[in-house]
Structure 1
Amino acid sequence: MYRKKFIPPLLKKPLIATTDSSSSEPPQKKIKIEPQSSSQKSSDSDGGRSSQSSSGVRRVLPVSRVTAGPGSRFNPPKIIRKPLVPVSNPPAESEGPKPVSDGGGGRHYFNVLWRKFQARKHKTWDGDGVLVIVNGNATLQDVNGRDIGTGRVSKVPVEGDVISLGGKEVEIDSVLPKSDFMAGKPFLKSKGSQVDAAPTINPVEFHAKNVFKPPLLSGTTITKVNPQKPAARFDPTAEGALVMKRPDVSSSKNKVVVDVVVDPILSRHLRPHQREGVAFLYEAVMGLRPYEGRGAILADEMGLGKTLQTIALLWTLLKQNPIHNQGPVIKKAMIVCPVTLINNWRREFKKWLGNERIHVFVADGKSNVRDFTHGPVYNVMIVGYERLRSIQDKLKQCQVDIIIADEGHRLKTAENKSAQAIRSLSTPRRVVLSGTPLQNDLREFFVMVDFVNPGILENYSTFKKQFENPIVKSQQPEASKSDKDLGNARKASLTELTNKFVLRRTAKILSKYLPPKTDIVLFCRPTKQQLELYQAILNTSVAKRQIGSMDTALQLITLLKKVCNSTSLLKPKGKEDDETKLSSSILEEAKVAGSALIAQNSSGKLKVLERLLVTLKETTQEKVVLVSNYTSTLDILEKMLNSKGFHHLRLDGKTPANKRQDLVDKFNRVSSDVAFAFLLSSKSGGAGLNLIGASRLFLFDSDWNPATDLQAMARVHRDGQKSHVYIYRMITTGCIDEKIYQRQITKQGLADSVMDQKAGGSNFTSAELKDLFRLDTETVCNTHDLLGCECGEIGEPPCEDMEHEEEEEEEEPIQMIGWTKASIVDMDKQEEAYRKATSKARQRMKALLEFSHINPDKIPENGIRDSSPKRSKQEEGEGSDDGEEEDDAEEVPIPVVEDEILKKVLDGSPKAISFIFTKNSL
């Protein structure tokens, strides 16, 4: 069968090099048509570029593409392409900026892309990273700071280079400035301009989530006409008005911004620092500050009015919105606090707003949570941390718009059940109130920051590697200069970031509003029975085994702390636990169980306290607060008060929650004849209470955590106090009491810190742990000995060169191994090393340089020192020309004790107190 030959279609028409008159292919460019003006005529002089149609429309043809030819109207275009011109690329050295070195150290930093080796054609990158090159050694880190590859490089790469490193391909993206790497910016979520620039605000996010929304489209609804001009709830131009920051809604249409003004009923009572605090919290929870999150930490010291600032914030958010015609920003608020502070919060709401303005729901065991979740009556709920865990499922039935965590340092562990209960409510606005946000280490601070603004510091593993470890390492005595530089840079970067949502003010700003305060540290000599019992315990084999590690030493530490408080605390009790068994075994081996050493109530601190209380009761009408960490110690103090006939009140863990505030109110109201002393447990009532009825507070024992003691000591120096306040710390000289106090001062006095509460102190070394149990019977104050102070112990302030002495760099520690010939020992170098070691110890406890140091042994009994004055030069040599006696002889100064009560005790028992630290503030 005949078949026609198959001819495949041409996908592209061939180029025509010659002109074909028979071709009728249209021109490739569309004919441009434009009307002809009267001045335009058809002529042959235009070279065939135009023609006139019968309709009077002139057609213009592009000469460059169309050529006239015979036999046809148009000829197909002849396309002539110019050859490509070769262009030489610039040399590789000129591409991009050169990597920046650290100035001789051979260090380079790059932002890179990395991936594992891939065999497929279209490869993808696995993630971003940071490449660090130090003297040819390259380290690849991911965005979390983990090392994922190491190797050697022969030359410093430039932008665009691809290198192999640790089984991965790495492409250099850009040069990373050294300052950004040292600050840890590549490892933070908020990078670059996101941290520095204010975020764009969506006005819809301002109002509560449960505000009614119309089901119709915006174009089908009838626009409501507001007859009144948009105006603020309160006059922003009034005198003393506190106006909040306006949001930027320029990108949103049909949104009218009005001023948010704090209710004058509250703003007229706010002090300047409190006005600043309210504005700070408002900007934080409204997303008006330059960070990612809606949380904040109000870290003011005790007594600055965190409660009032919080009430002003909540009342403003409950009633106002910066967007006109929107509902309030929040409709439901929850305050979580220790059970001891529930009634205090309720009283503060009633004090400032009254019951007619706001209804507060207290979630105790008798209340029904449904009244808050489903009812419109209550806007604020106050609940304790323990109660919150049991009602968290019921709270999910409503939308809680903001959560206030009072004494938020309780949420210092990620496994904390209260913190998990709050996280389960999915509330973006969270505020933590804490006078001591940094207590023991940076890990607790990370947990608090991650609680209020989740993810802002990435995860803990990244935070630990990039911030905690460098900061802690820089504070070690053996830290090198590079370690200190990196630690300081990371600390500065962390402080810069956290200052965007952490507000910290000290009690110094209260100097205008509160009476002066005097802090007194009393080092009390232990009694003979205490020393014998203390030494007998340390000599036992059981105690020596416990000193091996910190975990096993805790029970021994508790036992020795009891000896410092009173020997009678070691009397056997009915309960059987590990601590009791250990105590019994040690006492049996020491052969003191049931002996006279623990039968009598022997304690140097207790005797000094008794003399102070008796003197106060006999000579003044003042009231006192006695604080201890142990209820068993409170029992001994209560027996001592009963033996003297001193009336008192007591608040500890066994006191019902509904009666605690009544006890506080009664103590503040009655005279010293009705209630002379208030016994307080620092763990149960050491935070948030206002015991302004007393003007003197005695901290009988110390806690490892300085925040616990600072909270307890601030109970009397608060708003409403009218008298001069005296704070006494009781410490047993040379015993574990003094070691704990030194540890507290070290935490508070470290030079490099993130906040005032000097965090990041190193853990105990084995040498420090052994020294912890050493009994020093020869010293009058081991703390002053370690300080290396040359103040003369007469109460004068330390000299300026000690206060401003800076720690010098130590190139290499001097190590003396084995026997060394005396002829080759450089004594000057040895003395210099000792001076530097003493300087480091002084730097760790430099907070004590703010105190005046007094040795009572240098105070004469009659207050006048009997010593011959120094003779003048004229008396030693020639006499005076005029015969008159020279009166320029220097007198020997004597210590001055300003506290009259303490002075009387020293006169009566000069040997009971071995040393005194005093500091006047505010």
Structure 2
Amino acid sequence: MDEEDDLWKQFLEQDDDLTVPSQVLSDSYLVGFVIANIVGLRYYSGTINGRELVGLVREPLNPFDPNAIKVLNTRSVQVGHIERAAASVLAPLLDSRIISTVEAIVPKPPPRGRNPYRLPCQIHIFALPDAIPTVQCAVADGGLQLFTLDDQEFALSESVIVKEGASRNKAKERRKIDEIFALVGKDGKGIEPYEPPSDVIISELFPHQKEGLGWLVSRENSRDLPPFWEEEDGVFLNVLTNYQTSERPEPLRGGIFADDMGLGKTLTLLALIASNMPGNGVDSSSVEDVGSSFGDRKRKSSMKRAVSSRKKRKAVVDNDGNTDSKTEALGPKATLIVCPSSVLSTWITQLEEHTKLGALRVYLYHGERSKEVEVLLRHDIVLTTYKTVALDFSSSRSPLKEIEWLRVILDEAHVIKNFASQQTKAVVDLKAERRWVVTGTPIQNSSYDLFSLMAFLRFEPFSIKSYWQSLIQRPLDQGSSSGISRLQALMASISLRRMKESQNGSKRLVGLPPKTVETCLVELSSEEREQYEKIETEAKSTLREYINANTILRNYSTVLHIILRLRQICNSVALCPSDLKLLLSSDIIEDVSNNPDLLNKLSSMLQDGDDFDCPVCLSPPTKTIITCCAHIFCQTCIFKTLKTLNPRCPICRHPLSKSDLFSALPPKSPDENLKQSSGIPISSKLLALLNLLSSTMQKPSMKSVVFSQFRKMLILLEEPLKAAGFRVLRLDGSMSMKKRMEVINEFGSNKMNSPTVLLASLKSAGAGINLTAASRVFLVEPWWNPAVEEQAMDRVHRIGQREEVKVVRLIVRDSIEERIMELQERKKKLAGGIFAKKNAKEQREMRVDDIRTMLRL
């Protein structure tokens, strides 16, 4: 892997599956293909009926063969395994990431009327250019024949996707697939508004919420074939993969609800739960579906068939909220809502404000909770968190796993964008009739963020990684002109996205007051500038050595530390220790086992900032482990790595064993008494913030939210703000859910002498909560990902806001913060699809230039 590319991936939080990072995919080349047999067909229910693409999935914990590679058809049903001889060659290459990815196709259907013991398939191998000789040697040594692009036999390749990237007829083949995508979502129908039941929902919905509700209800009651399916003479064909079946595919009852932040998605979803409950009399035949069929021609045929005759439970709710135990038949009734812990309070508040008391029975599955299935099924809504679902799935007995839910709603669903994380795998495995992804930022970093959402929705074939990579990701990464149009067609078929205002800002979807965003440039004092320049000079010298020696990845933690300290100096010298130079020496970072002081300093570094995530699960580390090569992981994540055949550090590929892992020091409680009286003068940024906040004191009722990524900075701000006359509250990740709710409620109070300033952690308060009591937002420092900042702003600028909202970014002039702002702009273009216009080489060069620009190298 290109070391600078991987470093850049970590900087910008490219949250891809650890085994196949998107940067590797974009720079990979087709090495060739091998022919291998699929075996064990008689032991699995999956079938192959034509010339079809199949999915290959590594199965390292298979008790019969640690090299196992299972084969899935387009319905995600297992067909068999790759024969042992071929798997023993390919598996080590995949595990070591020498091979970026593999794709397979069955070139010929099995003989009619026969159930073969084995079935040949072509496995196409992709790798980075530097790894191609290694792959060729390993395949040859393993006794397999590799057909390369230079071989005459390469014409045997049957893969349309491979031809798309490698053959002379690629334009013709690509056009064929693009014509298929062009048919998706072209039904021409608008969204019909829908009124929720007034005996449950007591609030009046805005027009856009009624339209959103109509879209949600229509999708849940759809009778259409899923996108990319056709029917002819009772046979159903997936036109992308050539999979055929006589069994009608189930409609895709769900999708991505991606309205802009602050448009009232939570209330709309509560209206959906109330409107579309079993036994409520909703006639699915009277509700039109919008955009989920494969073209108008196939709509007429698919609408003639009924989808299901499943019996449904009739829930009778009396005035006290008690459910009658008499039911016609047990069937899915309850809705499971999964959200971050910081958002639980929002759902509870919305239920209290917008639903009739007792009309919906709600169970909070969090903390002390029942393990009885019957208890959960007696409720209409079960509220839980991603962390709780992940913990439950690791236990042997979990009601969440046993229940087939009527619907599962993932709120703030962008948190599952890393498919390798435990919480993502847990929610994907939930059983449900209807599945909803809810997020105002479905793409935070790259289009690869969407793969986990497809896996949860079980949108075939895109829920299988190999199909996603070949049909969507690779055309995008290679700069194909068709890549972005495919992604747009795909999203149009399953998602609803409305913005608060049009692109030019002239038309607003809802009557919200305007929001303005300003940048306040801060000049450092002469002492602060001297300290900043000193550390930046040392940092530049060290990084030049890493770049010249090609050892950036090996010294990854040092690089992160340099970035962190430069950012903290911009806030206050008090945040940065004076002994930074120890961590800037390139000859001692290699092995922390020989340097206990260095291990302690790395542990201390973790406690200084809220922005350090485990690079595997991309969440704040739990039971933090530091490897001998100075990389930081969750204990659970790195232990899984040790179970592989050739355990190596996921960052630098250094060989690892259990003796190479070290526990970080237990986190110290925040220093509540950290004050400016330590002899360090008030920082320039703090003075600028105090000046900006002083203008709000002219209006006693005006409230402000101050966001920072550093908990120590929030603590540092408290005393000076209180001394200036502000009534201050703090909200950060160290607080329990109960404490957070108390802080939010207290801040939202309009009583006399209520708090006027909320000091909030960007990660803990940046999503899912309502802070409309405030009308001023201050971002103390910039964050890599602009979507995170947008979420923080929209905690204030959302439905319920009555005042004009003013957002101020505090940026130190001529510092790393200005360069981070430049990177933000590039991230916005990335999320907007402009990255698809560049080829892989241009993207790689841009990333290298950005790394140097950030530190003025």
Which of 412, 415, 431 is equivalent to 1:410?
415
Once the two structures are TM-superposed, the CA of residue 747 in structure 1 deviates from its matched residue by 1.4
Q: Is 2:578 the counterpart of 1:576? A: no
Q: 1:389 aligns to what? A: 390
RMSD value, Cα: 4.4
Q: 1:457 aligns to what? A: 462
Higher relative contact order (CA 8 A, sep 6+): 2
Between the aligned partners of 2:839 and 2:351, the Cα distance in structure 1 is 34
Counterpart residue type for residue 556 of structure 1: I
Q: Is 2:525 the counterpart of 1:527? A: yes
Which of 123, 127, 130 is equivalent to 2:51?
127
Q: 2:561 aligns to what? A: 555
Q: 1:283 aligns to what? A: 218
Q: Is the CA contact 2:194–2:210 (under 8 Å) kept in the aligned structure 1?
A: no
Counterpart residue type for residue 166 of structure 1: F
Q: Is the CA contact 1:569–1:598 (under 8 Å) kept in the aligned structure 2?
A: no
Q: 2:850 aligns to what? A: 768
Q: 1:356 aligns to what? A: 358
Structure 2 regions of 5+ residues with no counterpart? 1-33, 38-47, 55-102, 107-121, 126-145, 228-250, 286-308, 314-330, 502-506, 580-596, 609-629, 631-675
Secondary structure (helix, strand or coil) at the match of 1:767 reads helix
Secondary structure (helix, strand or coil) at the match of 2:759 reads strand
Once the two structures are TM-superposed, the CA of residue 532 in structure 1 deviates from its matched residue by 0.9
Between the aligned partners of 1:334 and 1:754, the Cα distance in structure 2 is 37
1:240-275: CA deviations, max 9, x gaps?
99559xxxxxxxxxxxxxxxx755764972222212
Once the two structures are TM-superposed, the CA of residue 511 in structure 1 deviates from its matched residue by 5.6
Once the two structures are TM-superposed, the CA of residue 666 in structure 1 deviates from its matched residue by 1.8
Between the aligned partners of 1:583 and 1:656, the Cα distance in structure 2 is 18
Once the two structures are TM-superposed, the CA of residue 151 in structure 1 deviates from its matched residue by 5.9
Q: 1:804 aligns to what? A: none
1:185-207: CA deviations, max 9, x gaps?
28x9x889898799xxxxxxxxx
Judging changes above 3 Å, is the alpha-carbon distance between structure 1 residues 409 and 770 closer, same or farther for their aligned structure 2 residues? same
Once the two structures are TM-superposed, the CA of residue 582 in structure 1 deviates from its matched residue by 11
Q: Is the CA contact 2:193–2:211 (under 8 Å) kept in the aligned structure 1?
A: no
Once the two structures are TM-superposed, the CA of residue 602 in structure 1 deviates from its matched residue by 5.1
Between the aligned partners of 1:171 and 1:436, the Cα distance in structure 2 is 34
Counterpart residue type for residue 185 of structure 1: I
Counterpart residue type for residue 450 of structure 1: A
Which of 367, 370, 373 is equivalent to 1:368?
370
Deviates more, 1:445-454 or 1:331-340: 445-454
1:550-583: CA deviations, max 9, x gaps?
7352221011110111111014799923265899
Once the two structures are TM-superposed, the CA of residue 365 in structure 1 deviates from its matched residue by 1.6
Q: 2:339 aligns to what? A: 337
Q: Is the CA contact 2:260–2:497 (under 8 Å) kept in the aligned structure 1?
A: yes
Q: Is the CA contact 2:403–2:431 (under 8 Å) kept in the aligned structure 1?
A: no
1:48-93: CA deviations, max 9, x gaps?
xxxxxxxxxxxxxxxxxxxxxxxxxxxxxxxxxxxxxxxxxxxxxx
Secondary structure (helix, strand or coil) at the match of 2:259 reads coil
Between the aligned partners of 1:168 and 1:337, the Cα distance in structure 2 is 49
Counterpart residue type for residue 327 of structure 1: K
Between the aligned partners of 2:762 and 2:434, the Cα distance in structure 1 is 31
Judging changes above 3 Å, is the alpha-carbon distance between structure 1 residues 168 and 515 closer, same or farther for their aligned structure 2 residues? closer
| Number of residue pairs the alignment of both structures matches | 552
- For residues 611-650 of structure 1, the aligned pairs below 5 Å read 611-618=691-698, 621-650=701-730
Between the aligned partners of 1:317 and 1:309, the Cα distance in structure 2 is 12
Q: 2:5 aligns to what? A: none
Once the two structures are TM-superposed, the CA of residue 183 in structure 1 deviates from its matched residue by 5.8
Secondary structure (helix, strand or coil) at the match of 2:778 reads strand
Between the aligned partners of 1:521 and 1:702, the Cα distance in structure 2 is 11
Q: Is the CA contact 2:445–2:831 (under 8 Å) kept in the aligned structure 1?
A: no
Q: 1:322 aligns to what? A: 283
Judging changes above 3 Å, is the alpha-carbon distance between structure 1 residues 754 and 421 closer, same or farther for their aligned structure 2 residues? farther
Judging changes above 3 Å, is the alpha-carbon distance between structure 1 residues 723 and 672 closer, same or farther for their aligned structure 2 residues? farther
Secondary structure (helix, strand or coil) at the match of 2:563 reads helix
Judging changes above 3 Å, is the alpha-carbon distance between structure 1 residues 737 and 266 closer, same or farther for their aligned structure 2 residues? same
Secondary structure (helix, strand or coil) at the match of 1:679 reads strand
Which of 682, 685, 692 is equivalent to 2:762?
682
Between the aligned partners of 1:571 and 1:272, the Cα distance in structure 2 is 54
Judging changes above 3 Å, is the alpha-carbon distance between structure 1 residues 667 and 180 closer, same or farther for their aligned structure 2 residues? farther
1:813-854: CA deviations, max 9, x gaps?
xxxxxxxxxxxxxxxxxxxxxxxxxxxxxxxxxxxxxxxxxx
Once the two structures are TM-superposed, the CA of residue 276 in structure 1 deviates from its matched residue by 2.0
Which of 495, 498, 511 is equivalent to 2:488?
495
Secondary structure (helix, strand or coil) at the match of 2:276 reads helix
Q: 2:749 aligns to what? A: 669
* Larger proportion of helix: 2
Q: Is 2:262 the counterpart of 1:303? A: yes
Deviates more, 1:697-706 or 1:417-426: 417-426
- For residues 697-708 of structure 1, the aligned pairs below 5 Å read 697-708=777-788
Secondary structure (helix, strand or coil) at the match of 1:420 reads helix
Counterpart residue type for residue 306 of structure 1: K
1:338-357: CA deviations, max 9, x gaps?
11121221221232222321
Between the aligned partners of 2:337 and 2:851, the Cα distance in structure 1 is 41
Q: Is the CA contact 2:770–2:795 (under 8 Å) kept in the aligned structure 1?
A: yes
Q: Is the CA contact 2:194–2:213 (under 8 Å) kept in the aligned structure 1?
A: no
Q: 2:379 aligns to what? A: 378
Q: 1:101 aligns to what? A: none
Secondary structure (helix, strand or coil) at the match of 1:401 reads strand
Q: Is the CA contact 1:442–1:759 (under 8 Å) kept in the aligned structure 2?
A: no
Secondary structure (helix, strand or coil) at the match of 1:414 reads coil
Deviates more, 1:373-382 or 1:727-736: 373-382
Counterpart residue type for residue 283 of structure 2: P
Between the aligned partners of 1:280 and 1:579, the Cα distance in structure 2 is 49
Q: Is the CA contact 1:566–1:601 (under 8 Å) kept in the aligned structure 2?
A: no
Judging changes above 3 Å, is the alpha-carbon distance between structure 1 residues 338 and 180 closer, same or farther for their aligned structure 2 residues? farther
Q: 1:709 aligns to what? A: 789
Judging changes above 3 Å, is the alpha-carbon distance between structure 1 residues 458 and 691 closer, same or farther for their aligned structure 2 residues? closer
Q: 1:912 aligns to what? A: none
Secondary structure (helix, strand or coil) at the match of 1:716 reads coil
1:99-136: CA deviations, max 9, x gaps?
xxxxxxxxxxxxxxx9999xxxxxx9993589xxxxxx
Between the aligned partners of 1:699 and 1:320, the Cα distance in structure 2 is 49
- For residues 881-896 of structure 1, the aligned pairs below 5 Å read none
Between the aligned partners of 1:414 and 1:432, the Cα distance in structure 2 is 15
Judging changes above 3 Å, is the alpha-carbon distance between structure 1 residues 359 and 653 closer, same or farther for their aligned structure 2 residues? same
Between the aligned partners of 2:419 and 2:425, the Cα distance in structure 1 is 8
Judging changes above 3 Å, is the alpha-carbon distance between structure 1 residues 636 and 165 closer, same or farther for their aligned structure 2 residues? same
Judging changes above 3 Å, is the alpha-carbon distance between structure 1 residues 504 and 582 closer, same or farther for their aligned structure 2 residues? closer
Counterpart residue type for residue 381 of structure 1: V
1:351-384: CA deviations, max 9, x gaps?
22223211100012233242x6446531210011
Q: Is 2:127 the counterpart of 1:166? A: no
1:793-830: CA deviations, max 9, x gaps?
xxxxxxxxxxxxxxxxxxxxxxxxxxxxxxxxxxxxxx
Q: 1:874 aligns to what? A: none
Judging changes above 3 Å, is the alpha-carbon distance between structure 1 residues 737 and 419 closer, same or farther for their aligned structure 2 residues? same
Secondary structure (helix, strand or coil) at the match of 2:405 reads coil
Q: Is the CA contact 2:193–2:213 (under 8 Å) kept in the aligned structure 1?
A: no
Could you tell me the TM-score, scaled by structure 1's length? 0.53
1:692-740: CA deviations, max 9, x gaps?
1111110111211212111111111122222111111111111111111
Secondary structure (helix, strand or coil) at the match of 1:366 reads coil
Counterpart residue type for residue 565 of structure 2: L
Secondary structure (helix, strand or coil) at the match of 2:410 reads strand
Secondary structure (helix, strand or coil) at the match of 1:296 reads strand
Between the aligned partners of 2:362 and 2:350, the Cα distance in structure 1 is 11
Q: Is the CA contact 1:571–1:598 (under 8 Å) kept in the aligned structure 2?
A: no
Q: 1:294 aligns to what? A: 253
Rg comparison, structure with higher value: 1
Between the aligned partners of 1:170 and 1:336, the Cα distance in structure 2 is 42
Could you tell me the TM-score, scaled by structure 2's length? 0.57
Q: Is 2:267 the counterpart of 1:185? A: no
Once the two structures are TM-superposed, the CA of residue 495 in structure 1 deviates from its matched residue by 0.9
- For residues 117-156 of structure 1, the aligned pairs below 5 Å read 127=51, 142=105, 146=124
